[in-house]
Amino acid sequence: MKVTISPSPLSGVFTAPPSKSAAHRYLIGASLARGESVIRNIANSADVSATLGCIRALGAYAVPAGDSALAVTGRGIPQSAASLFVGESGSTLRFLIPLCLLSGVPFTFSGAKRLFERPLSVYETLCRERGFYFDKTADSLTVRGKLTPGRYEIPGDISSQFATGLLFALPLLGGESELILTGKTESFSYLRITEKVLADFGVSVGFDGVSRFRIPGGQSYFPVDATIEGDASNAAFFEALALMHGNVRVTGVPADTLQGDRVFSSLAKKLGSGEKISLADCPDLAPVLMAVAAERGGAVFTDTARLKLKESDRGEAMAAELRKFGARVTVEENRVTVGNAPLHPPETPIFSHGDHRIVMAAAVLLTKYGGEIEGAEAAEKSFPDFFERLAALGAKVTYDET
């Protein structure tokens, strides 16, 4: 799908959509609880739909329970072999693999090839060390094994999603386990979200706040009635619009949220100052911060190495698209520099790179400069009505489905 955005003034109030990160976690927790949970304020993005489809395949019963709510009846530990379609959702895949290693029966995951190009080495090493079956192809993964209580050591600098997956599974084992994150722990805030969600389901994990979890065994998940808070990651695109247009107000993200991407506003204040901006705890803000930096005097972003492991190589992808606006961007191994240069409307269409955050970051700039985005449907991965919400603020958006 091609989307054309014409320069236009924006104004109004934007209410953040439900948090995708929280939705994944609550749906999985509900699938493990014996009894009915109600999960409220849940959005039907492609990623969340993938998790919902997988927990149903694993035996959970999930039905609508009113406006934007689901009633989920869990079945506990998955016991029967199943095929699980995860689409492009890294969270779905990485959160569910350890749960599928609790019963000793085979499970096969399938999905987009790009997803299976992203790192799974943490789980592969874990499986190889324990003699489990781990067979990965270009677009699938089959695992079979049975986790036992004990010490688990994994790198903390690839993705916090591996730790989250283990934190869901290890409390269900018969004895105590220890999870140790080696190296520099990044995306630390996501582990705090996991810890909170587990606590809501009555599951306790002892975290030292740095790198070590003590996880009592023999625990059970209990049903909850939970409401998903607003998504700070997606709200950031509209906070960026507020900076550029001045008359947009963003609501719906609690001031006390644990989401790491809540820091967009504070980081945006540093743009153009020459101060280095670390993205270690908020890599998903990289595209929108780079876009705003190009507009507001440039910036130097550090801790960017993991950007190449996302839905696209986000550093290189954003550099290529920002250059179409006239921006000067340099991508290094663990640093991205956006220079201070005058921008202009892009002379060729913006390419999505199949990445939802590239699409939305580019759209922010196009509301001022105008232009086209090829492959704009990628936004549906996390924010299906992004362009409708943009238009509601006054953006001139036209669609070409051919």
List all residues 6 or more positions away from 353 whose beta carbon is below 8 Å from its beta carbon: 311, 312, 313, 317, 321, 375, 378
List all residues 6 or more positions away from 239 whose beta carbon is below 8 Å from its beta carbon: 250, 264, 265, 268
Active-site residue, selected from the candidate residues 284, 303, 385, 400: 284
Asked if 21 contacts 47 with a C-beta cutoff of 8 angstroms, the reply is no
> 3-state class of 55 per DSSP?
helix
CA distance 148 to 349: 52
CA distance 108 to 196: 29
Residue 97 phi, psi (nearest 5):
-55, -50
Residue 231 annotated among the catalytic residues of the structure: no
DSSP designation for 331: E
* Residue among 249, 299, 307, 264 at smallest CA distance from 283: 307
Annotated catalytic sites, by residue?
A: 284
